[in-house]
């Protein structure tokens, strides 16, 4: 099999996770990276032959098959548009763009230039996520009545915590929603097979000013309090509560916050059906709890035999051997690259169409929080 030539654009927190996951696939050559900051040093540390500070130069010189765009949100549109017009397949980090308009343009460019397109909603690729999806498809829990849960983090708890994500002009209109809420909603829609068609949102910004260190640091890096700070106005939400109506008739709610002390990256789901319920928590991502009324509850643990054929396709280790965050990335990319290589399979990963849908939802949530009213999600 020919090895595909890939490059990663933006090598911060998540760019490195992309590189690690791609290397584990074995049939991808990461031939270059591009980053305006320390690109040569990063390439040396990661043992990558070529480094560029300008992604256009890299794309023009490197004869690439695929680019992974792992840069701050406000750069996704221009980089993806440039790559697509050179007929390069694009794997884009979430959120897809800053606006619905930009996402629509990227989708139509991807269709025009016929490139494989994906947005990295990797939570779909925990084996338990796919197992829950298939259980619901087989009607194992009956009609869904409600879906609720949360996405909690604590890395922005203090007013000295800072990231480019806090600013609308870089993050987009929302922050907690674009950054982590979009993961929760995409996962719920993927698993239940139904779409949110109306939202009611409440936003809270706890600190309207935050202290930013004069020296930039990586996402999630703990702030060194001995450094010099400057005060920055914050125009995005720290916390959001959401109510949902789904197109299958179910109702739901969620809390999305980056200020919940002690929870680093907690995603949980509670899905109630007329026959049984499903519960899942990222902190125990290998287990699904099936709730029954007239018989004991069950815990199904990640296992290719117990979970069935299609889930088996994203399990690479025997039961009892954890497959977590880096594995979900590997499985996402495995599916996308198989599509690039021409394997004709059901597309389970999020495409630009799904990315656009999340942008539409994101905007409806923002509008609802501003209007203090239910907002229908148009397409």
Ligand X SMILES: NC(=O)c1ccc[n+]([C@@H]2O[C@H](COP(=O)([O-])OP(=O)(O)OC[C@H]3O[C@@H](n4cnc5c(N)ncnc54)[C@H](O)[C@@H]3O)[C@@H](O)[C@H]2O)c1
Residues in contact with ligand X by CB under 6 A are: 9-15, 34-37, 55, 70-73, 75, 93-94, 120, 122, 179, 218-219
Angle of helix 100-113 relative to helix 76-85, nearest 10 degrees, comes to 10
C-beta closer to ligand X: residue 164 or 229: 164
Number of helical H runs and strand E runs in the chain: 13, 17
C-beta closer to ligand X: residue 94 or 285: 94
C-beta closer to ligand X: residue 136 or 356: 356
Least distance CB 103 / ligand X (angstroms): 13
C-beta closer to ligand X: residue 94 or 335: 94
SS3 246: strand
C-beta closer to ligand X: residue 248 or 265: 265
Least distance CB 218 / ligand X (angstroms): 5
Least distance CB 119 / ligand X (angstroms): 9
Please classify residue 235 by burial: count the beta carbons closer than 10 Å to its beta carbon, then call 0-12 exposed, 13-18 middle and 19+ buried.
middle
- Cα distances from 26 to residues 2, 43, 162, 200, 311, in angstroms, run 11, 19, 36, 45, 21
Least distance CB 248 / ligand X (angstroms): 27
C-beta closer to ligand X: residue 73 or 272: 73
For residue 149 the two structure tokens come to 């849960």
* Alpha carbons 15 and 6: distance in angstroms, whole number: 12
Element of type H or E holding 245 = strand 239-246
Kind of pairing between the strands at 375-376 and 196-204: antiparallel
Considering just the CA atoms, what is the radius of gyration of the chain in Å? 21
- Contact indicator for 232, 162 with CB cutoff of 8 Å: yes
Least distance CB 122 / ligand X (angstroms): 5
252-263 per-residue burial string, b: 16 or more CB within 10 A, e: under 16: bebbbbbbbeeb
Least distance CB 344 / ligand X (angstroms): 26
* Alpha carbons 76 and 60: distance in angstroms, whole number: 18
* Alpha carbons 325 and 59: distance in angstroms, whole number: 29
C-beta closer to ligand X: residue 93 or 323: 93
Least distance CB 93 / ligand X (angstroms): 3
Task: Please state whether the peptide bond connecting residue 95 to the residue before it is cis, i.e. omega within 30 degrees of 0.
Answer: yes
Least distance CB 94 / ligand X (angstroms): 6
C-beta closer to ligand X: residue 16 or 251: 16
For residue 130 the two structure tokens come to 């796919």
C-beta closer to ligand X: residue 75 or 99: 75
Least distance CB 190 / ligand X (angstroms): 14
Least distance CB 48 / ligand X (angstroms): 14
- Cα distances from 67 to residues 125, 243, 332, in angstroms, run 20, 36, 15
Place of tokens 């994906």: 118
Place of tokens 């139509």: 108
C-beta closer to ligand X: residue 67 or 110: 67
Comparing every residue's Cβ against ligand X, the nearest one is 12
């Amino acid at each position: 099999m020919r090895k595909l030539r890939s490059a990663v654009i933006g090598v911060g927190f998540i760019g490195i996770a992309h590189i690690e996951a791609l290397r584990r696939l074995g049939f991808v050559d990461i031939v270059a990276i591009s980053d305006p900051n320390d690109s040569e040093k990063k390439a040396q540390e990661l043992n990558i032959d070529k480094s560029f500070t300008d992604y256009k130069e890299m794309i023009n010189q490197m004869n690439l098959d695929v680019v992974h765009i792992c840069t701050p949100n406000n750069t996704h549109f221009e980089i993806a548009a440039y790559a697509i017009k050179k007929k390069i397949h694009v794997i884009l980090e979430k959120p897809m763009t800053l606006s619905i308009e930009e996402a629509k343009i990227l989708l139509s460019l991807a269709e025009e230039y016929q490139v494989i397109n994906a947005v990295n909603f990797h939570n779909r690729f925990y084996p338990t996520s796919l197992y829950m999806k298939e259980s619901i498809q087989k009607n194992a829990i009956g009609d869904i009545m409600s879906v609720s849960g949360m996405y909690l983090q604590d890395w922005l708890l203090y007013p000295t915590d800072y990231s480019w994500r806090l600013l609308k002009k870089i993050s987009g209109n929302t922050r907690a929603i674009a950054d982590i809420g979009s993961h929760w909603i995409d996962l719920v829609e993927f698993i239940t097979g139904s779409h949110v068609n109306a939202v009611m949102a409440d936003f809270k910004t706890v600190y309207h000013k935050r202290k930013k260190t004069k020296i930039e640091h990586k996402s999630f890096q703990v702030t060194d309090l001995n450094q010099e700070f400057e005060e920055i106005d914050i125009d995005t939400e720290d916390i959001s509560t959401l109510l949902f109506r789904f197109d299958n008739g179910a109702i739901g709610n969620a809390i999305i916050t980056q200020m919940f002390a002690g929870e680093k990256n907690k995603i949980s789901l509670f899905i109630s059906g007329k026959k049984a319920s499903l519960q899942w928590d990222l902190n125990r991502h290998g287990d699904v709890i099936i709730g029954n009324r007239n018989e004991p509850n069950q815990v199904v643990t990640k296992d290719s035999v117990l979970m069935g054929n299609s889930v088996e396709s994203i399990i690479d280790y025997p039961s009892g051997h954890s497959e977590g965050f880096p594995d979900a990335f590997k499985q996402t990319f495995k599916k996308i690259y198989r599509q690039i290589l021409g394997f004709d399979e059901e597309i389970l990963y999020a495409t630009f169409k799904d990315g656009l849908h999340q942008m539409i939802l994101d905007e409806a949530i923002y509008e609802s929080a501003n209007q203090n009213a239910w907002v229908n999600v148009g397409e």
